[in-house]
Amino acid sequence: MESPVGLAQIWSGGLIYIVPFLFVLTIIVFFHELGHFLVGRWCGIKALVFSVGFGPELIGFNDRRGTRWKLAAVPLGGYVKFLGDENAASVPDRAAVDAMSDAERSGAFPAKSVGRRAATVAAGPIANFILAIVIFAGVAYVEGRVVGDPVVAEVRDGSPAAAAGFKPGDKVLSADGETIRYFSDLQRYVSSRADTPIRMTVERNGSPVELAVTPRSEVQTDGFGNEFKVPVVGLVANNDGSSFRVESLSPVEAVAYGVSQTWFVTTRTVDFMGEVITGRQNADQIGGPIRIAQVSSQVSTIGLGALLNLAALLSVSIGLLNLLPIPMLDGGHLLFYAFEAIRGRPLSEQVQEVGFRIGLALVMLLMVFAFWNDISGLV
Let me know if 234 is exposed, middle or buried by CB neighbors in 10 A (0-12, 13-18, 19+): buried
- Please tell me whether residue 6 adopts helix, strand or coil conformation: helix
| Helices assigned H by DSSP within the chain | 3-42, 94-98, 102-105, 114-143, 160-164, 183-191, 239-242, 251-278, 289-300, 304-322, 330-343, 349-378
Nearest to 117 by CA among 36, 32, 181: 36
Distance CA 66, CA 49 (A): 9
Angle at 28 between CA 25 and CA 31, to 5 degrees: 140
Which positions ≥6 away from 362 have C-beta within 8 Å?
326, 328
Query: What b/e readout covers 36-74, taking b as 16+ CB neighbours within 10 angstroms?
Result: bbebbbebebbbebbbbbeeeeeeeeeeeeebeebebee
CA distance 228 to 281: 10
Q: How far apart are CA 86 and CA 79, in angstroms?
A: 13
92-96: Cβ within 8 A, 24+ apart: 92/352, 94/349
d(CA 336, CA 326): 10
Q: Which phi and psi (to 5°) does residue 165 adopt?
A: 100, 15
Active site residue 33: yes
CA distance 54 to 153: 52
SS3 199: strand
∠ Cα 76 81 86 (to 5°): 105
Instruction: Give me the catalytic one of 33, 178, 227, 353.
Output: 33
Q: Which of 213, 214, 206, 207 is nearest to 166 (CA)?
A: 213
Residues with catalytic function: 33
